[in-house]
Amino acid sequence: MNALVAWLRAQLDECEREAPELGTHAMEQWILADVVAKRAILDEAEAVCEEVRSPSGAEHYVNARARQFAYEQVIKLLAQPFAGQDGWREAWRV
């Protein structure tokens, strides 16, 4: 997961640097991919919230694992608009 986080941060830095230079078509494609990723993040968050309602005993461990999985999924979802860029790994695809 650390490699994905480092890679994603580099992609975001690159986007920030190149944003003023993007043409209209490239910007539209990026915005649409960003919207799709954020909707998927919301779906995942809602599912985890339903699973993590009652932390007690063994359920506490299960809930902690569910949260960890959710965070990992969120990071992967955030990376999806950058799929195919240099350094992308298919293991990061959701």
Q: What band does 23 get if pLDDT is binned at 50, 70 and 90? A: confident
Stated pTM of the model: 0.68
Query: Given this model, what pLDDT does residue 49 score?
Result: 67
**How far from 53 is each of 36, 45, 49, 69, CA to CA, in Å?**
27, 13, 7, 16
Residue 89 has pLDDT above 70, yes or no: yes
- Structural domain of residue 73, as residue ranges? 2-92
Q: What band does 76 get if pLDDT is binned at 50, 70 and 90? A: very high
- Number of domains making up the chain: 1
End-to-end alpha-carbon separation of the chain, Å?
Answer: 13
